A and B are shown apart, each in its own frame.
Chain A
Amino acid sequence: MSDPRTDTLPPSGAPVRLWHLAFRSRNLVIGLALTLVFVIGALLSFLWTPYDITGLDIANKIKPPSARNLLGTDHFGRDILSMIMVGARTSIAVAVVAVGIGMVFGVPLGLWAAARKGSLLDEVIMRANDLVFAFPSLLIAILITAIFGPSAVNAIIAIGIFNIPVFARLTRSGALSLWQRDFILAARVAGKNSARISVEHILPNVTNLLIVQGTIQFSLGILAEAGLSYVGLGAQPPTPSWGRMLAESQTMISFAPHMALFPGLAILLTVLGLNLMGDGLRDLFDPKLQRSRT
């Protein structure tokens, strides 16, 4: 069986070309670096943070950035840098699981719909997708968290539900064009049924699309989680979260702007990093698009 990736990547000397392309793609390198900073920060927070975020230090509350606390302290005297590192865990975990939910349900639905194109099943799946798509996701997320109570898990479910149609659509459209290809015909002649073809031949060839979209949904998930936490519907205290840090800083913004500045910058830079990485990956996987759409 041929390597499925040869459909989109140059076959000869692939590793060298990959590295070369990655080096040339500024977006990818900057995006990857930004994302890694926050992922490493989050992982590091399991082992070490500059200060303990559970201990209150009222004597040192609301201090601007200094050599002692690089990003200052909050209204309980907690170190903001440490809070941001631990908060990154929440943001990343929520977004990763939400993207996971979208892929686990969306990709099989998309593959299934494409394999039975034009059938009632296809129609039902796509109409249901349109329906979920038509509703403002934030609104339904608010409804879900209002009913089942605010928590990180409910935020994940609420964000994840809206990832399902995104991945279903993408998988279906990617799969539909693949079903026309000769190597699929060959697989059918070889006697494979459509389920097996979907898994063995279609899926590996839509992986690139899924990775790019996954990166973008990841960044949207981080924004959504921040928004929900900001209005008190995301992760609950004492779990630190960037959105709630912003909410807590709001009443003190006139005399302690640093409390609002750094969590917001953390969100901005993470989302920016993921978006740049998504753009860079798309260029990398599909060099044809590189010149026309930047």
Chain B
Amino acid sequence: MLRYTLTRLLSLAISLIVASVVIFLAIEILPGDPAAFMLGVNAQEDTLNALRDQLGLNGSLWERYASWVGGMLSGDFGTSYTYRTPVAEMIGERLWISLPLALYALALSTLIAFPAGIWAASKRGSAVDVTVMGVTQLGVAIPNFWFAMLMVVVFAINLRWFSAGGFPGWDEGFWISIKSLTLPAIALALPQASILARVMRSALLDTLSEDFVRTARAKGLSRRQALRRHALRNALIPVLTIIGLQFSFLLAGGIIIENVFYLPGLGRLIFQAISARDLIVVESVVMLLVFAVVIVNFAVEIAYALVDPRLRHRR
């Protein structure tokens, strides 16, 4: 297990290093001087130089990369070119919307997908199964930002159950905030729930045809008991992997959904930064999200090995 963890840890480190180099170089090849951008066309050469020094733009490529990565490791993400505030602070505020949104959507997706997938698998070929498969086929194909817009028309504009967008802030009360995240979370969860339900169903069908399930049935368990006690547990392994992977889709997918509902999360931040050419913010937010995704994938792989001992010994 130690050996497995160490090799996974090594590949985690390599992923992060490669990602940071790619993101850094991508931003680096852009033309334009952020200092000149901040001070305007009439700036004196010495003020420009002073600001470049302050922003750490005068060093060599390698020095700048090292200071960027070093800064991030110590929680310093640099200073926004347009707002002149620390990027770490800006990200911190936005994260309190994007992260709960992703977790909310993940919870919804799991809560919908598990019963649907299990139900469809246990009544294979029935009307229930056909319905679940049909609905999930639609759920996979629907663009989630369009689904979000339709929900706004129905639930916000016509029924007035929810507000059409915006976020009151956690200070205004937990339930009010949760309520304003509900439509975005449903929109995010729908495609993921559809995929997950299909994975759940096919994983269950695979395990149901295994010998140990037949043994359990021969022992006298009903189909339902065999499913619950034996098949479900084994089917969970691929399902858990998918859940972990979906977290990254939810974080990234939130970027678009936040725009539909005017939620001031990381997605809005990234688009504001792009249109203002505030590249240090773009750079840091992308790196942070990539970091989150890589860490989650790592955690999933470790959890996977804990559940399934065979994996630890496979190279």
Contact = CB atoms under 8 A, between A and B. Distances in A.
Interface string A262-294: 011001100110011000000000000000111
Given A134-B297, A147-B26, A147-B27, A260 B137 contact: no
B185 to A, nearest CB: 18
B176 interface: no
A139 B290 contact: yes
Interface stretch (B56-64, B88-96, B138-146, B215-223): B138-146
B145 A227 contact: yes
B252 interface: yes
A246 B149 contact: yes
Contact of A268 (B142, B202, B271, B293): B142
Contacts, number: 114
B153 interface: yes
B11 interface: yes
Contacts of B162: none
A231 B251 contact: no
Contact of B143 (A226, A253, A292, A293): A226
B145 A254 contact: no
B133 A294 contact: yes
- Categorize the interface residue count of chain A: 35 or more
A219 B143 contact: no
Contacts of A142: 255, 270, 274, 286
Given A146-B282, A254-B157, A267-B146, A135 B255 contact: no
Contact of A264 (B146, B259, B282): B146
B155 to A, nearest CB: 13
Given A131-B15, A257-B153, A139 B137 contact: no
A143 B152 contact: no
Contacts of B294: 134
Interface string B116-140: 0000000000000000010001101
Contacts of A293: 202, 205
Contacts of B137: 272, 275-276
B9 interface: no
Contact of A254 (B153, B206, B251, B252): B153
B202 to A, nearest CB: 6
Contacts of B249: 136
A236 interface: no
A138 interface: yes
B152 A227 contact: no
B146 A260 contact: yes
B253 interface: yes
Contacts of B153: 253-254, 257, 260
Contacts of B29: 147
Contacts of B112: none
B256 A231 contact: yes
Contacts of A134: 15, 248, 293-294, 297
Interface in B151-184: 152-153, 157
Contact of A138 (B141, B143, B205, B253): B253
Interface in B21-67: 23, 26-27, 29-30
A147 B133 contact: no
- Categorize the interface residue count of chain B: 35 or more
Given A138-B255, A253-B152, A272 B138 contact: yes
Contacts of A254: 153, 157
Nearest to B206: A292
B205 A253 contact: no
A180 to B, nearest CB: 19
A131 B251 contact: no
Contacts of B299: none
Interface in B220-254: 248-249, 251-253
A249 B145 CA distance: 12
A249 B137 CA distance: 26
Contact of B255 (A139, A260, A267, A294): A139
Contacts of B303: none
A223 B255 CA distance: 15
Contact of B252 (A136, A272, A294): A136
Nearest to B23: A143
B141 A219 contact: yes
B141 A136 contact: no
A253 B293 contact: no
Contacts of B209: 292
Contacts of A139: 252, 255, 286, 289-290
A143 to B, nearest CB: 5
B150 interface: yes
Given A139-B286, A231-B259, A268 B15 contact: no
Given A136-B293, A143-B286, A254-B153, A268 B141 contact: yes
Interface of A: 127, 130-131, 134-140, 142-144, 146-147, 219, 223, 226-227, 230-231, 246, 249-250, 253-254, 257, 260-261, 263-264, 267-268, 271-272, 275-276, 292-294
Given A143-B26, A231-B259, 5 more contacts: A136-B252, A142-B270, A231-B271, A263-B146, A271-B142
17 contacts: A134-B15, A134-B248, A135-B19, A136-B248, A136-B293, A137-B252, A138-B252, A139-B289, A140-B286, A142-B286, A143-B26, A227-B145, A230-B145, A246-B146, A268-B141, A292-B206, A292-B209
Q: List the 9 closest pairs (A to B, CB-CB), nearest first.
A: A136-B252, A264-B146, A272-B141, A271-B141, A146-B274, A138-B252, A139-B252, A136-B248, A254-B157
